[in-house]
Amino acid sequence: MSLVGDYDGNNIFAKILRGEAPCVKIFENDEVIAFMDIFPQSQGHCLVVPKNTQARNLTDFAPERLGALFAATQKLTKAIISALNPDGVIVTQFNGAPAGQTIFHLHVHIIPRYENLPLQRHHEGKPADIDTLREQAKRIAGALEN
């Protein structure tokens, strides 16, 4: 069952956190790292990933750390709204494969929505253009400073 199990320290987010895999980073602090999703469903799709944890999903995560995770999520959501001017924003978190989770390290998706543009399929297409992701990350990071 994908809701329970042993943490796999070789998942891509663990590798990113250890500096063993690249990402297009937006910001980082002691609690989280935020970066662009390599398989975006929409322009500006990014992730907030907690550091120093082996939580596979929300039920595994220390309750006293939820505030820092969701404060960072809110901060990033506001920056996305400022930088990219979407018509709406999805903030979501999946728990278990049947719910859509594909990487078993707790993470939150922030997905900007634009009128009349459908969401792309996640993780089934080709990776996004890295230069495009870097440009979006730069715009979002710039909005964090305001």
Q: Checking DSSP bridges between strand 32-36 and strand 25-28, what pairing results, if any?
A: antiparallel
Look at residues 73, 72, 33 and name the one whose alpha carbon lies nearest to residue 53.
33
Q: Exactly one of 107, 109, 122, 123 is catalytic; which is it? A: 107
Q: How many residues are given for the chain?
A: 146
Q: Which two tokens stand for residue 83?
A: 């930088």
- Helices (H), ranges, 9-129: 12-17, 66-84
Decide if 123 is catalytic. Answer: no
Neighbour count for residue 74 (Cβ, 10 Å): 13
Give me the active site residues, please. 107
